[in-house]
Amino acid sequence: MVDAGEFAWHQEFASNHYGTRSRYLFEARERQNPSGMILLPERVVSLRETLGEGADLKHLYIKTPPTPILSGRMRERGDDTPTTVKRLETCRHYDRNIKASGVPYHWITNEGTPEEMVRQVLDYLEE
């Protein structure tokens, strides 16, 4: 059972419960070094609400690559067509939700090498 106020958010996924304790967010906010989190779009909104207006937050989103690139990557690693189609649908769904969220995301392109994406992320975080 989740105690009221102990978690900034929680949700069920695959019959398990996942969440982030509120105190971890406030501790991270006070640190000198930046902290990172991988969150579903709706949890980014929760994060912003929990930490408030003055929180120094940077939001980035790695954009879904064009269909030929993503499907090619998936074929190369051995994914079948139904898996690829489902992944493309899921990615497009997230892209739409991110655009509509009202959160000021910085978009990272995903058409090159992993090293190029890492460089984009580091450049953004150093701004």
Give me the number of domains the chain comprises.
1
For residue 100, being part of any structural domain is answered with: yes
For residue 3, being part of any structural domain is answered with: no
Q: What is the pTM of this model?
A: 0.72
For residue 107, being part of any structural domain is answered with: yes
For the chain, percent of residues with pLDDT exceeding 90: 38
For residue 112, being part of any structural domain is answered with: yes
**Residue 43 to residues 8, 37, 64, 70, 86, Cα–Cα distance (Å):** 9, 10, 19, 25, 22
For residue 46, being part of any structural domain is answered with: no
Q: Give per-residue pLDDT as tens, 13-40.
A: 666 778 888 888 888 888 877 788 888 7
